[in-house]
Chain A
Amino acid sequence: MLFESIKMSWENIINNKLRSFLTMLGIVIGVASIIALITIVQGATKSISDQVNELGVNKITINAMGTPLKQGLGQDDMINISKVDNISGISPTISGRSGIVFNRKVIESVLVEGKNEVYFKTDSSLLKSGRAINILDLESKNQVAILGNNIVNELFYGVDPVGKELIVNGTTYNVIGTLKASSGFGIGSNNDTVIIPYTTALRSLGVKNITSLDVFLKDTNLADDTVTDIKAVLNPAFNYKEDAYTVFNMGDMIESLQSMMSMMSLLLAGIAAISLVVGGIGIMNMMLVSITERTTEIGLRKALGATPNRIQLQFIIEAIFLSIFGGVIGLILGSLIAYVAASFIGIGFSVSIATMALAVGFSAAVGIVFGYMPARKASRLNPIDALRSL
């Protein structure tokens, strides 16, 4: 019985190709926009998360503005923090600005950053040539420098800088390495930086405090506990002054970014869902027209022995057919749009099974909901009136 009803519904759709297509169009557009929007937003979220992940999720950054009494973090604070659980390494940054000179060429006010060996260990792809800062450099406060890509290009055009002597803040430094050109914009870019051992920086840059500390975690899941522990160390050090420092957890940032993006995708999907509802009303409208047109047919079928349930089933199946077809076409179309858009923006493209199931499920539901009323109307037609209408 179900099979026969499906066959009859199918025949009716095929017999009214243009009208069936136009009716489906509403669903097609609705589903296509849902799929396209969700896929694009998901792709964008993934791309952004990946970029942030590259900066390091296993990292907590402490920035110290200090108080009048204690103007930043000292080496003692660093030692205390390093005793906190779940820490695999600490990388301090001391920054200052200074003029640098090589071979009578001068660059004014270059960003000079004091770092330690951990900085280089966390990212093995930092160095382009030469060697990293090692523990010996730190202990001996060696006058060694590693140069950013722009500095190399500007001062050492055509010359290998490794082994050369560079004057920083009036003192001679040995260039021991160069950095790869970094693609990051703003944050994370070290193209215009000169890196020296932080111990050397504390002595010779005239900076007494550590500006920021990157704390690397063993287990990112425990990040919140580690943040609490670090605060427990720092609060007494800053005499419980609020705003003396900030602790910034990269993981938190990604989380909030992701929740923001999922909010956005929900919002967009919600807007697109409105068009699905409009599509559903289109189906209902078409079904009502179709029933009016086929009043005689319905009456005849009833006279020949069709029960009201049979008639209702046939029309509901027709509505479900239309909306599922619309859903599948919309799925393909939406994926195509998302694919084109993704390759334009340069983000990843993948349609999840969940998204597909959502689209097809939603359109089937639209078919049932908006097909029910017309189908019920058809099933209740009085065969006498229906047959007389011809």
Chain B
Amino acid sequence: MAEILKMHNIYKSYFMGEEELEVLHNVNLTIHNSEFLSILGPSGSGKSTMMNIIGCLDSPSAGMYILSGNDIDDLDEIQLAKVRNKEIGFVFQNFQLLPRLSALKNVELPLIYTGISSTERKKRATKILERVGLSEKMQNLPNQLSGGQQQRVAIARALVTEPTILLADEPTGALDQKTGAQVMELFEEINREGRTIIMITHDAGIARYAKRVVNIIDGYLTE
């Protein structure tokens, strides 16, 4: 299986005033195509920082991060925006849907930045919304949808660009147990279709849906 992500000796530290705070220590991680990986850790363990670096929202202080053959350190802001658009599909804890846009328009959003024509966007967004079981709700605004449905819209939005990695941050954090389980089942299905999924969570029960779990505690990653 092809190697799609490689983190080599990654360090990340922040400055809190004068004091340097190291949140990631020598992280090494390799992810292959079609993996379903869970990064499990309590709050404050550095898992959000992991997610930001994997998602190219933040850059490591030291070390090498290669995503789909690109050394992220070499890229400028515009190239990073393109990488995020093309390689990463984000799923956030709070769904992060734009409240004034319909489910369909929300799913179309990343394709606008890819530069795809409006008719093609609509076609792709419709198809992916059907895939996540929301063909009846496409014109609804987010507040007319249940939490589970909103997260499905968010997942559809993440998948619509056919990204290399689906990157989910506590995807069930805002959902009840049952809905959370349904979302995880959807993740499993998506993974079975060959999509690589990286999920960040503090919930060991949720992490169990992944085929591979890595633990992060105090900035140290262990498998």
Contacts and interface: CB of A to CB of B under 8 A. Distances in A.
B57 A383 contact: yes
Interface string A374-390: 00000000011001001
A305 B85 contact: yes
Contact of B115 (A1, A302, A390): A1
B58 A305 contact: no
Interface centre among B57, B78, B109, B161 (most CB of A within 10 A): B57
A15 interface: yes
Nearest to B82: A305
Contacts of B85: 304-305
Given A1-B115, A4-B112, A384-B52, A305 B96 contact: no
Interface in A257-312: 296-297, 300-310
Main secondary structure of the interface of A (DSSP, over half): helix
Interface in B38-96: 52, 55, 57-58, 77-78, 81-82, 84-86, 90, 92, 94, 96
B77 A308 contact: yes
A303 B94 contact: no
A4 to B, nearest CB: 5
B100 A11 contact: yes
B4 to A, nearest CB: 18
Given A1-B115, A387-B92, A305 B84 contact: yes
A376 to B, nearest CB: 13
B81 A302 contact: yes
Contacts of B84: 302-305
Interface residue range, chain B = 20 to 34
Given A305-B85, A306-B113, A383-B57, A296 B96 contact: yes
B171 interface: no
B58 A306 contact: no
A383 B58 CA distance: 9
B98 interface: yes
Contact of A303 (B55, B86, B112, B115): B55
B100 A300 contact: no
Interface residues of A, number: 21
Contacts, number: 55
Nearest to A300: B96
A15 B100 contact: yes
A195 to B, nearest CB: 81
Contacts of A11: 100
Contacts of B110: 304-305
B114 interface: yes
A370 B96 CA distance: 29
Given A1-B115, A4-B112, A384-B52, A307 B78 contact: yes
A15 B100 CA distance: 8
Contact of A305 (B81, B92, B98, B100): B81
B210 to A, nearest CB: 22
Most buried by A among B81, B92, B96, B100: B81
A1 to B, nearest CB: 7
Nearest to B169: A387
Contacts of A309: 78
A15 B109 CA distance: 17
Nearest to B52: A384
A330 B91 CA distance: 45
Contacts of B109: 301, 304
B115 A300 contact: no
Interface string A346-390: 000000000000000000000000000000000000011001001
Interface of A: 1, 4, 11, 15, 296-297, 300-310, 383-384, 387, 390
Interface of B: 52, 55, 57-58, 77-78, 81-82, 84-86, 90, 92, 94, 96, 98, 100, 109-110, 112-115, 157, 161
22 contacts: A296-B96, A300-B96, A300-B98, A301-B113, A303-B84, A304-B84, A304-B90, A304-B113, A305-B82, A305-B110, A305-B113, A306-B113, A307-B77, A307-B78, A307-B81, A307-B113, A308-B78, A310-B113, A384-B57, A384-B58, A387-B92, A390-B96
Query: Would you list the 7 A-B pairs with minimal beta carbon distance, nearest first?
Result: A305-B85, A305-B113, A304-B110, A307-B81, A307-B78, A300-B96, A305-B84
